[in-house]
Amino acid sequence: MSGIAGKPAEHTQEGLKGIRDTGLEEVRLRAFLAHAWRTPKGFYGWLVTVDHKLIGRRYIVTAFLFLILAGLSALAMRFQLAQPEAGYIGPDLYNQLFTMHGTTMMFLFAVPVMEAFAIYLVPLMIGTRNVAFPRLNAFSYWVYLSGGMMIWIAFAFETGADAGWFSYVPLAGPEYGIGKRPDFWAQMVTYTEVSALAVAVEIIATVFKQRAPGMSLDRIPIYVWSVLVTAFVILFAMPAVMVSSTMLILDRLVGTKFFDPAAGGDALLWQHLFWFFGHPEVYIIFIPATGFVSAILPTFVRRPVFGYLGIVLSLIAIGFLSFGLWVHHMFATGLPQLGESFFTASSMMIAIPSGIQIFCWIATIWGGRPIFATPMLFVLGFIFTFVIGGLTGVMVASVPLDLQVHDTYFVVAHFHYVLVGGAVFPLLGAVYYWFPKVTGRMLSERLGRWNFWLVFLGFNLTFFPMHILGLQGMPRRVYTYPPASGWGEMNLFISLSSLVVFAGFALFFLNLLLSIRNGRIAGDNPWGASTLEWATTSPPPSYDFSRLPVVTHREPLWAEPDMLPVVEGLRVDAREVLAGTVADAVPQIRVPSADNSIWPLLSAIAVGGAFLGSIYTPWAVVWGAIPVSIGFICWFWPKGEPEDEE
């Protein structure tokens, strides 16, 4: 750190405050930046950091831990269903298991892991040093973590949610919902949605304002477009589930009558509100996954993606259309026929922008020279599996077919094809693709291929037969079935196949653990990719880039492989980023970026305490407001850091 002692007079320009990077040699520049953007060492540093990479990493690890929990609960269910009338798991525990599986996969794994990647990657891909509101980012993680821990600790004490991941009333209402089980579910939703909304807000502000100079709207990497669209979908979808879960907890706690038909309420109101969120939720998971595909594919076929504009417009169209489909989850509830026809049409319409994307990817592969590395294998596996899931999606969008297979294993097969094929495969591909950037080391390709084939084949062997079981009439959410049904053999086959998926995931985690220490050193840009995150070191320094890049091309690193155009004039003794115009990214201001702080954590504890308390008494909200206010005031109050100077 000797390089930063004292103020080098030669670099202090007339009339400019702070030390600037102009003309500063690289070694001293990096020393200054490392000091300004440092995270303190040790446990305290872990608690106070606002570095988007550390928070993103921690989000990813946490989300994968929840994936393991949800995966193990699936395995337990398959154990029970492997033979007819098996007695390993009773109906009560089974209800909790499938509820925890769905709830965890959707709220605690899929959405957070997609946001986690965005938190890590977006600042690097758009050429800035942190997200727009770094402390909000830290806060969002702590809130997410506490919500996830809360519902799993409740499960450990036999208070696991048991009314399905959608928690339908009246089953979850005051009359039938046992003890506090649905309340823990409802408050877990509040935690995770607060966290997701916070991330959505910061992603929107970051992408709109903090892009590298020159990165006009038509030069934004498609992955960044995908997370931007997702952030907007979150913004307009998540409030629906917050409103409805608040109404549910009010019905249960203080006797409101939102869902009570005897007092003018309506049970279907819950379904409308839930699915107004629930359907876009699927796209909140799926849209960033298509972004992964559009990021990975060009690198491994060695050409820019075909139809940039078409893909971006498709992403935006999917974002809009995702709000017009929710009623197709409710075809079996006896809605007016005209309404059902409208939602059939709109459900089928979303196949159009999805199809455009798929054809663009095929054209990209067609026009390139494919290299079949593991990330690419997962992308190809995605295209194959997602097309099947998409086709059954068009099938269940039709009312008569939906009524036939509603609540059967056909639907279970369909949505696993869409969610695992459509989102988890690209996600695994993304882990293989960006692991070198995050850790500086490559994952093993050999283990990666085994990982891919086991997961891909195991997945198809597990879920394809479920279509047939569904058509044969096997209902969902049953803890057992009679031998006379004739479903025993296929269920045994499915359960055995699920072990193959399990083995595939075990290899995945093994690969991560082995490679993080012993993997081949990656270098800055091991895949020869074109986007800005590969212009910095692997792993990137705390300040991401020693000088902020300027973008002159949609594929900046392919246009100029050895030379990065950069701006000069930013402060290096305080955290500073650039903000520019929304459309053309013309620099407007040098914005200070928030320093480390303990207050996001303390505020999250206060907020979490109020949420938890409100499961038991409405007064928790009133009294909880006091520590929450103290937390927020201390968070925002300026503390005389260098970033406060102007």
Toward other proteins, which CB reaches closer, 488 or 580? Answer: 580
Toward other proteins, which CB reaches closer, 83 or 537? Answer: 537
Tokens 């809605």 belong to residue: 335
Among 19, 108, 296, 570, binds other proteins (CB under 8 A): 570
Toward other proteins, which CB reaches closer, 239 or 539? Answer: 239
588 binds other proteins (CB under 8 A): yes
Q: Which stretch binds other proteins (CB under 8 A): 47-55, 205-213, 439-447, 510-518?
A: 205-213
Residue 390 CB neighbour total at 10 angstroms: 20
Burial tier of 583 (Cβ tally within 10 Å: 0-12, 13-18, 19+): exposed
Q: Which stretch binds other proteins (CB under 8 A): 42-50, 107-115, 269-277, 459-467?
A: 269-277
Helix locations, 367-487, DSSP H: 374-396, 399-405, 409-416, 425-439, 445-471
28 binds other proteins (CB under 8 A): no
Q: How far is the CB of 65 from other proteins (least distance, A)?
A: 28
| Contacts to other proteins from residues 58-97, by CB under 8 A | none
Q: Is the omega angle on the peptide bond into residue 600 within 30 degrees of 0, that is, cis?
A: no
Please give the structure tokens belonging to residue 16: 């400019």
Q: How far is the CB of 415 from other proteins (least distance, A)?
A: 24
Contact in structure between 219 and 557 (CB atoms under 8 Å): no
273 binds other proteins (CB under 8 A): yes
- What is the enclosing helix (H) or strand (E) of 250? helix 222-253
Q: Is the omega angle on the peptide bond into residue 170 within 30 degrees of 0, that is, cis?
A: yes
Among 79, 88, 168, 208, binds other proteins (CB under 8 A): 208
Report how far residue 518's alpha carbon sits from residue 442's, in angstroms, rounded to the nearest whole number: 9
Q: How far is the CB of 297 from other proteins (least distance, A)?
A: 24
Among 96, 187, 192, 210, binds other proteins (CB under 8 A): 210
Size of the site for other proteins (CB under 8 A): 73
Q: How far is the CB of 209 from other proteins (least distance, A)?
A: 4
Report how far residue 17's alpha carbon sits from residue 9's, in angstroms, rounded to the nearest whole number: 12
Q: Which stretch binds other proteins (CB under 8 A): 66-74, 149-157, 209-217, 423-431?
A: 209-217
3-state secondary structure of 211: coil
- Phi and psi torsions of 395, nearest 5°: -65, -50
Q: How far is the CB of 123 from other proteins (least distance, A)?
A: 13
Among 387, 490, 516, 582, binds other proteins (CB under 8 A): 582
Length, in residues, of the chain: 646
Q: Which stretch binds other proteins (CB under 8 A): 69-77, 203-211, 359-367, 369-377?
A: 203-211
| Contacts to other proteins from residues 276-335, by CB under 8 A | 276
Q: How far is the CB of 581 from other proteins (least distance, A)?
A: 8
| Contacts to other proteins from residues 536-565, by CB under 8 A | 546-547, 550, 562-565
Report how far residue 587's alpha carbon sits from residue 17's, in angstroms, rounded to the nearest whole number: 19
Among 51, 183, 202, 281, binds other proteins (CB under 8 A): 202
Contact in structure between 173 and 253 (CB atoms under 8 Å): no
| Contacts to other proteins from residues 248-267, by CB under 8 A | 250-251, 254-258, 260, 263-266
Toward other proteins, which CB reaches closer, 42 or 264? Answer: 264
| Contacts to other proteins from residues 105-134, by CB under 8 A | 132-133
Please give the structure tokens belonging to residue 288: 């960033």
Q: Is the omega angle on the peptide bond into residue 539 within 30 degrees of 0, that is, cis?
A: yes
Report how far residue 515's alpha carbon sits from residue 510's, in angstroms, rounded to the nearest whole number: 8
Report how far residue 358's alpha carbon sits from residue 437's, in angstroms, rounded to the nearest whole number: 27
416 binds other proteins (CB under 8 A): no
Q: Across-strand partners of 91?
A: none
205 binds other proteins (CB under 8 A): yes
Toward other proteins, which CB reaches closer, 14 or 85? Answer: 14
Report how far residue 616's alpha carbon sits from residue 626's, in angstroms, rounded to the nearest whole number: 18
| Contacts to other proteins from residues 3-22, by CB under 8 A | 13, 16, 20, 22
Residue 46 half-sphere exposure toward CB, CA atoms < 13 A: 4
Q: How far is the CB of 187 from other proteins (least distance, A)?
A: 17
Q: How far is the CB of 634 from other proteins (least distance, A)?
A: 10
Q: How far is the CB of 240 from other proteins (least distance, A)?
A: 5
Among 3, 45, 170, 239, binds other proteins (CB under 8 A): 239
Label residues 600-639 b or e (16+ Cβ within 10 Å = b): bbbbbbbbbbbbbbbbeeeebeeebeebbeebbeebeeee
Report how far residue 512's alpha carbon sits from residue 431's, in angstroms, rounded to the nearest whole number: 9
Among 71, 160, 213, 353, binds other proteins (CB under 8 A): 213
Report how far residue 214's alpha carbon sits from residue 64's, in angstroms, rounded to the nearest whole number: 36
Among 568, 583, 623, 626, binds other proteins (CB under 8 A): 568
| Contacts to other proteins from residues 601-640, by CB under 8 A | 629, 633, 636-638, 640
Give CA 131 to chain center in angstroms: 16
| Contacts to other proteins from residues 509-538, by CB under 8 A | 524, 535
